[in-house]
Amino acid sequence: MLLERARSVAGWQLTLGAALFVLGFLIAAQLASEGPRIRITSQERTPLIATVLDLQKQQDDLKTQVLDLRASIADLDAAGEGGTAVTQQLNDRLEHAQEAAGLVALAGPGLVIRLSDSGVQVPTDADERDYLVSGNDVRTVVEELWLAGAEDVAVNDERVVVTTAILDIGGSVLVNSAYLAPPYQVSAIGPSDMFERLTQAVGFVDFIRSRAETYGIGVDYAVLDEVDLPAYAGSVTLRYGFVEASPSPGVTPDVVPPFGTQVP
């Protein structure tokens, strides 16, 4: 019995000793590994700090670039305002030139004159063509409207521009490149007293006497708050042109275009 207790105690001690040995070995191994890890961490600290400082410097540089770019954008915006003003001036000049050339449709207060063929009986010994509205009649009314202060003129759906020709072609009138048939509607935009100027002009009075009273050519008119003028639809072939001041009422120049032109 004592022998069995001795064996039991001896086995227990051996087991405890083995466990303690293993535990000590593990603790020694852990302590041995701490030294290199601490040394590695200390060795890597210096380059990590350098990297952090370098990244911080890059960030500061980027912030400086952002501020510089914002300042440049502000400068460009300020310069853009000036550029916009110049562009607006150029657009205004272009629009004015297009209006002067008749390239845009216009509307405004003005006057409409309707010319129609005579309705009287043509005498047997008379020329029937005298009782029809001619290209010269249309051209005379257009010229008298310019002299009365008209700013823009159209005949039927044809805008009168500097290159417009009004000619007799057979039984119709050619305006620009369009053959028009009577009655002819001459529309003009101009000042409020344009009709008074027109009816007091010597040239228009002579036209009424020679054509309306003598041959019965119909001349009807209407003063309107808004007259629509179409845009010129033909080709522009002028190589050179300049704006010329309108003549004073009552003064008849040799040529009366919408605005002066000179083609070399």
Residues 6+ apart with CB under 8 A from 173: 133, 134, 135, 138, 155, 166, 167, 179, 180, 182, 184
Task: Judge if pTM exceeds 0.75.
Answer: no
pLDDT at 122 over 80: yes
For residue 226, is pLDDT > 80? yes
For residue 260, what pLDDT is reported?
Answer: 34
Average pLDDT, the chain: 75
pLDDT at 171 over 90: no
Confidence of residue 105 (pLDDT cuts 50, 70, 90): confident
How many Å apart are CA 85 and CA 255, to the nearest integer?
38
Closest to 107 in 3D by CA, of 191, 227, 233, 187:
227
pLDDT band (50, 70, 90) for residue 22: low
Pick the closest to residue 136 from 115, 154, 153 (CA basis): 115
> How far is residue 27's CA from residue 53's CA, in Å, rounded to a whole number?
39
More confident residue, 203 or 252: 203
pLDDT for residue 97 is more than 90? no
- The pLDDT, as a whole number, for residue 256 is 38
Q: Check residue 176 and give its pLDDT.
A: 86
Amino acid identity at 221: Y
pLDDT tens for residues 25-61?
566 655 555 555 445 455 555 655 666 566 667 666 7
